[in-house]
Amino acid sequence: MSLTKTSAPARSDVTTSATARPTPTVPLTQRPYFRHGTMLTVGALAWSSMLVVFGLNSEGTAYQYAHNASAFLFQVGVLSLVRVLWRSNAIGSGRAARTVLRIEAGALALAMASTASDFFGLTNLDNPASLALDMFWPISMLGMFLIGIRIAVAGRWQGLSRFYPLVAESWAVVTVPTMGIFGEGVARWVGAAHLVIGYAVLGQIVARKQADGS
């Protein structure tokens, strides 16, 4: 007679139902702002890359085309963000909130028209109309900064998305004084880094927002 002794299997040999469960994923149908956020990230990275390569100011033809093309792409991304703010009632659902977003969208559209005019060499700053149109670029960015404050105050977006828009939309508030104090050489890198840390990251936060606002 022979006796066979079989050792009990180690716990690592046993696959439990808990460890076998796949990690849940959020389908794109529950991320209605995925394309909008992605557009914002792409635009921010494009403009940031241009600043790294060419700087903030240059007289070269290549700079003029690269600057205006990347700036236009960034403006499209910001306009996509405004669309998300509208759809999600991020600053409120009343008439005043809607009016603010309409005004900001209009300012961005005029800023985009100015950028397109620059790209095609049609801008003449000695012309009052061209000069007025050119002013909508900084005006639209200032508007986004004020909207960022309103998002934080309203509290309709929760978690990181409540305060991060203010971080992203402080680009002009940070970069313009940096240029005045330290010059173009420093402001170039500050502006490029701020676009990545601010708007590019915000785009991914927006892209991951679900239909319920979380």
pLDDT tens readout for residues 54-84: 998 888 899 999 999 999 999 999 999 999 9
Nearest Cα residue to 37 out of 7, 82, 99: 82
Asked whether residue 159 is domain-assigned, the answer is yes
In a domain, 179, yes or no: yes
Q: Which amino acid is located at 87 in the chain?
A: R
Binned at pLDDT 50, 70 and 90, residue 210 comes out as confident
pLDDT in tens, 106-135: 999 999 999 999 999 999 988 999 999 999
The number of folded domains in the chain is 1
Q: What is the reported pTM?
A: 0.84
In a domain? residue 214: no
For residue 161, tell me if it sits in a domain: yes
Q: Containing domain of residue 76, as a range? A: 30-207
Residue 17's pLDDT is 40
pLDDT band of 211, cuts 50, 70, 90: low
Whether the Cβ atoms of residue 163 and residue 155 lie closer than 8 Å to each other: no
Residue 182 located in a structural domain: yes
Is residue 74 assigned to a domain?
Answer: yes
24 assigned to some structural domain: no
pLDDT, tens digit, 9 for 90 and up, residues 158-198: 999 999 999 999 998 999 899 999 999 999 999 999 999 99
CA proximity to 143, closest of 184, 178, 196, 102: 102
